[in-house]
Chain A
Amino acid sequence: MTNDHHIIEVENLVKKFGSFVANDHLNFYVKRGEIFGFLGANGAGKTTAIKILCGLWKPTSGRIQVAGFDVYKETEKIKRNIGYMSQKFSLYEDMTIAENFTFYGGIYGMRMPGIRKKMSFFLEKLGIVEYKDRVISDLPLGWKQKLAFSIAIMHDPAIVFLDEPTSGVDPLTRRQFWDMIYEAAHDGITVFLTTHYMDEAEYCERVSIMVDGRIEALGTPSEQKKQFGAESMEEVFIRLARKQ
């Protein structure tokens, strides 16, 4: 029943907290190598769904597979096959760049030669090889963000989850960050991300919009704009999120 081209499959995902339904029968899939935008208003239930997809929380009901693994029984396998980066940096501020690579590589089960290889690959790409012994807290915000992303994909995960990765950065860094996202997707890593920047919704191949625990729209940005007769994704978003 599982489709080989789908790296994430979600059927009737329900998550309740007491009587509150945070995720109300979500149905969607994400294609291998796709950039998928997971949008929604604050409190719509996005974070809950992401925690379930990452194997951190158990759903109340539904059939959910991530990278071919079951979210009820195979959470450890899921964790080894995904990368995660949130708006609050996942890097340790009082450790150096090199120490962060070593630490996370170790967590992901990588060995030292592999870690060293990846570290020099990313540091060269970012043009910061000579800074590898700098403590994270001394680095500019844009660097931290790019490093956090590099570390989130250093173990070649099948999927990387990005939770508001570009919050608060300058417009130039935001675009450089998107260059990295495109490159990762180009290399076959599936990108699953949330954002409040509506222009970034346009950069995604497909976008879902959650309102009050449900997915109210799903499709390519151009399909959605056509469906709602809207000029931009911002207009689509505001129309959907306002109607409650």
Chain B
Amino acid sequence: MESVRITGLSKSYGKVRALDSISLSVDKGELFGFIGPDGSGKTTLFRILTTLLLPDSGQATVEGFDTVKEYRQIRKIAGYMPGRFSLYQDLSVEENLKFFASIFKTTIQENYYLIRDIYSQIEPFKDRPAGKLSGGMKQKLALSCALIHKPAVLFLDEPTTGVDAVSRKEFWDMLARLKKEGITILVSTPYMDEAGRCDRVALIQQGKILGIDTPRGIVGAYKDKLLAVRSSGMYKLLFDVQEFPRTIRAYRSGEFIHCSVKDENAGDELRNFLAGKGHEMIEVRNISPDVEDCFLALMTNDRSFGTSPSGQATND
């Protein structure tokens, strides 16, 4: 059963194509991630799905309702946490939550079980104005407000941007618990390492979808071999690895340089090549790519991937 269906959706702002004929569908109860940088079209897509923006062409449905013609029905069953903090800064934590509950004709008590885990962490500050909360607490309050009417579908637009690594991890733990309640969750993020927490992800760049798959499927479609390289002179190493004739692509990744090559045995050759360039303490090993490696491969050329480069194949 599908919860969200998007067919040939496009939206432009003047000359800028924010969404370029996007098609995909999200199953009921799925935790689906849109992974891409700022300006890739994630927010535009979420605003169309939450009925706040009209598409130029194409169509989208949420729980069977059309986002243009049946926006009223969607607004009742969707929860939305926008990227920018948009609660009432001068209302207290509790007043904000009560306000959202009453708009949806429910009460905090009725759906408290759904937000207990999250809200209990900020409840000690329930009389504090929302504007005076720390970043992490604002995020928890915004999520509580988006959940208080027990939505069928939850849209979270970059909930972890600018949030530190620890709070990000906790936030994803919360989403995993909400998924168990049967809520369909669509979440966007610029952090590639968060892809692994989703059932499926769409990699999105400049309004186009580069690929849609499970995190494992995305990584599995990487066709080249990947080497992690390290030496005593990291600044020079990047240039030298890029110069190695068999290198397809080389870039920094944490404490290593990642180097993609065609065949597995290039590692020994690379080691000799680098020794010849005067590098010491050379370490070269074969590694499996992560989602960021795949994203980079898809961005720079599609050659490393088996799937269609346009990524328009829908999973339905």
Query: CB within 8 Å of B: which residues of A?
Result: 40-43, 87, 140-141, 164, 167-173, 175, 178, 182, 186, 196-199, 202-203, 221-222, 232-234, 237-238, 241-242
Note all chain A residues with C-beta closer than 8 A to B252: 175, 178, 203
User: Would A241 and B164 count as touching, CB distance under 8 A?
Assistant: yes
Bound state CA distance, A242 and B169, in angstroms? Answer: 11
Chain B's interface size range is 20 to 34
Q: How far is the CA of A238 from the CA of B234 in the complex (A)?
A: 26
Q: 4 smallest A-B Cβ distances: which pairs? A: A170-B37, A168-B38, A202-B254, A199-B254
- Neighbouring B residues of A197 by C-beta, 8 Å: 191
Report Cα–Cα, A51/B87, bound state, in Å. 28
Chain A residues within 8 Å of B296, by CB: 171-172
**Which residues of B are found within 8 Å of A199, using beta-carbon distances?**
253-254
Closest chain A residue, CB of each to CB of B205? A170
Which residue of A169, A198, A242 is within 8 Å of B37 (Cβ)? A169
Distance in angstroms from B132 CB to nearest chain A CB is 12
From residue A202, how far is it (CB to closest CB) to chain B in Å? 4
Number of A-B contacts (CB under 8 A): 82
The digit string for B29-41, where 1 denotes a CB below 8 A from any CB of A, is 0000000111110
From A242, which residue of chain B is reached at the shortest CB distance? B166
A135 to B205, CA, bound (A): 23
Q: Is the CB of B164 within 8 A of A87?
A: no
* Nearest-neighbor residue (CB-CB) of A183 within chain B: B235
**What are some 28 contacts across the A-B interface (CB < 8 A)?**
A41-B167, A42-B162, A167-B161, A167-B162, A168-B37, A168-B161, A169-B190, A170-B37, A170-B205, A171-B37, A171-B299, A172-B251, A172-B296, A172-B300, A175-B251, A186-B235, A196-B162, A196-B163, A196-B165, A199-B254, A203-B252, A203-B254, A222-B255, A232-B254, A233-B254, A237-B165, A241-B164, A242-B166
Residues of A within 8 A of B251 (CB): 172, 175
CA distance in complex: A87, B163 (Å): 13
Chain B residues within an 8 Å CB radius of A40? 164
Q: Is the CB of A42 within 8 A of B255?
A: no
B134 contacts partner chain A, Cβ-Cβ < 8 Å: yes
Q: Are B299 and A172 neighbours in the complex by a CB distance under 8 Å? A: yes
Shortest B133–chain A CB gap in Å is 10
